[in-house]
Amino acid sequence: MIFNLSLVEVSYADNISLRRCRIACGANRPDYFTHALEAHDVTGLSYPGFTGESAHPERLAAVAVR
């Protein structure tokens, strides 16, 4: 089985607010860990004060909104 896992994932939601969140990974990051925040089919998403990076910042953005 192949899958990807974002550290915070939000799907099919409205009016989501993540305030002053900090996302951090340890040193041992599996290949299947992806974005710090990923959102699918979300309206009204805001994340003021969000800090963090993806599990693999050399190839992935911290935030992915689709």
Q: How many domains does the chain have?
A: 1
pLDDT confidence band for 61 (50 / 70 / 90)? very high
Is 8's pLDDT higher than 70? yes
Would you say residue 3 lies in a domain?
no
Q: Residue 17: what pLDDT?
A: 97
Would you say residue 1 lies in a domain?
no
pLDDT confidence band for 1 (50 / 70 / 90)? low
**Angle formed at CA 8 by CA 2 and CA 24, multiple of 5 degrees:** 100
Q: How far apart are CA 8 and CA 63, in angstroms?
A: 10
Would you say residue 2 lies in a domain?
no
Q: 48 is in which domain, residue-wise? A: 8-65
Written as one letter, the residue type at 48 is P
Would you say residue 46 lies in a domain?
yes
| pLDDT tens figures, 10-44 | 999 999 999 999 999 899 999 999 999 999 999 99
